[in-house]
Amino acid sequence: MIEIATDKDIVAISVPFTAGVVAAAYLPHGGMSYSLLALLSSASIIPFLLLSLRKESGRYSISLLYLFLGAFCYCGAAAFIGDAGSGTVATGSGMSWLSARIESLGLRHESSAELLQALLTGRKDSLSRECIGAFRAAGASHILALSGLHLGIIYGLAGKLLTVTGNSRAGQVARSALLVILCGAYTLATGAGPSITRAFLFVLLKEIRKVSCGRSLSSARALNCSLLIQLAVNPLVIKSLGFQLSYLAMCGITFVAPRLREWYPESSKLDIMRRIWESVAMSVSCQLFTAPLVFLRFGTFPRYFLVSNLFCLPLTELLTSMAAACLLLDAIGLCPGKMKVLCDMLAQNLMNVIEVIASL
């Protein structure tokens, strides 16, 4: 299988392109309109485009080409659309149907249904201020924000269920297609926010690579490719806080977490302490990249993020998986009452843990 581009080629494109978008979005431009800036950046593209077409052209000229191209894309989009784009679309009837199904579960505690609404549909309007404040104080606000975490849980659960397609070539293609369709539909139904869109691009790129050459896609390559695609489609999304936090967190997971995991000595996969250390490594690596931005924007720092992630993330994953199973079985009239009770208990336990951590 011939590779279209190496990891270095992807980085040589995505990094300068992103830098150009950031420069156009945040550098002061005085009274100059974005239309004029777009013209200037497009004029700057021409000499570097000519240089890049020459055989002896180096990465320097190509990087400058994509730098000005990124600036041009942002300025052009800002001039025609407006200098404020989150990249989200309105939630559709799919989420209304899902919200109705959650209500129809008839969970004992109303707060459990409200929590499931936030986790699965992103709708937090029914949650009380006290509940939202507790999540914020516990450093677990990311659990309520519909993001790659939630799509990742659904993707993992669906992948396990679809193993029934078998390991034949046809079965693998069918499984990948169904996973992409399911994740894509969920992304669109929830509004295609920047964070969940990034997660969907990861899924799409991973499944394409798996089907095309049977190999997994490196996290660094997926990160650069999805960044390039998202900014090329909608450069205005660079100003979205969700977009910024999502990619900063992925930078930590991609470049720092693997090195932190290596600090733990080699042992059996069943080593519980190793699992705990991997969770710690993941949490710390994310906070190293996201905490400065959070402090800059809100003036706060999640002091208990480590405790929250150690206890709340496993509960969230278990609750989301259980809720998805309940909704699927309830839709066909086969959901046992005990499953609903267990789902309600998990939701209440998650909120209790959050309240305890928030009160520290």
- Tell me, yes or no, whether 100 lies in a domain: no
What does the block give as tokens for 198?
Answer: 């990034």
Contact 7, 254 (CB under 8 A): no
Predicted confidence at residue 1, as pLDDT, reads 35
DSSP 239: G
Top pLDDT among 25 and 58 is at 25
- Tell me, yes or no, whether 342 lies in a domain: no
Predicted confidence at residue 56, as pLDDT, reads 47
Predicted confidence at residue 173, as pLDDT, reads 86
Predicted confidence at residue 342, as pLDDT, reads 94
Domain range spanning residue 199? 145-239
Final residue belonging to a domain, choices 26, 48, 81: 81
Euclidean distance between CA atoms 310 and 305, whole angstroms: 9
Residue percentage of the chain with pLDDT more than 70 = 82
Euclidean distance between CA atoms 160 and 88, whole angstroms: 29
Residue 90 has pLDDT above 60, yes or no: no
Within its chain, how far is the Cα of 31 from the centroid? 36
- Tell me, yes or no, whether 235 lies in a domain: yes
- Mean pLDDT, rounded, of the chain: 81
Top pLDDT among 91 and 72 is at 72
4-27 per-residue burial string, b: 16 or more CB within 10 A, e: under 16: eeeeeebbbbbbbbbebbbbbbee
Residue 316 has pLDDT above 80, yes or no: yes
- Tell me, yes or no, whether 175 lies in a domain: yes
Predicted confidence at residue 161, as pLDDT, reads 86
Total count of domains within the chain: 2
Predicted confidence at residue 2, as pLDDT, reads 37
- Tell me, yes or no, whether 324 lies in a domain: no
Residue 354 has pLDDT above 90, yes or no: yes
> Between the CA of residue 323 and those of 16, 196, 221, what are the distances in Å?
42, 19, 33
Predicted confidence at residue 297, as pLDDT, reads 86
Residue 345 has pLDDT above 90, yes or no: yes
Pick left, alpha or beta for residue 267 (phi over 0 → left; psi -120 to 50 → alpha; otherwise beta).
beta
Residue 353 has pLDDT above 90, yes or no: yes
Give the mean pLDDT of 97-113. Answer: 86
Residues 108-153: tens digit of each pLDDT: 889 999 999 888 887 888 888 888 888 888 888 888 877 788 888 8
Contact 283, 310 (CB under 8 A): yes
Residue from 204, 247, 220 nearest 8 by CA: 220
Of 14-28, 83-97, 230-244, the range with the highest mean pLDDT is: 230-244
Final residue belonging to a domain, choices 194, 211, 239: 239
> Domain check: are 150 and 235 in the same one?
yes
Residues 161-195: tens digit of each pLDDT: 888 888 888 888 889 899 999 888 888 878 788 88
Q: What is the Cα Rg of the chain in Å?
A: 22
Final residue belonging to a domain, choices 239, 269, 290: 239
- Tell me, yes or no, whether 136 lies in a domain: no
- Tell me, yes or no, whether 43 lies in a domain: yes
Give the mean pLDDT of 58-85. Answer: 70
- Tell me, yes or no, whether 86 lies in a domain: no
Residue percentage of the chain with pLDDT more than 90 = 17
What does the block give as tokens for 273?
Answer: 């302490």
> Domain check: are 149 and 233 in the same one?
yes
Residue from 279, 290, 343 nearest 314 by CA: 279
Residues 274-291: tens digit of each pLDDT: 888 888 889 899 989 998
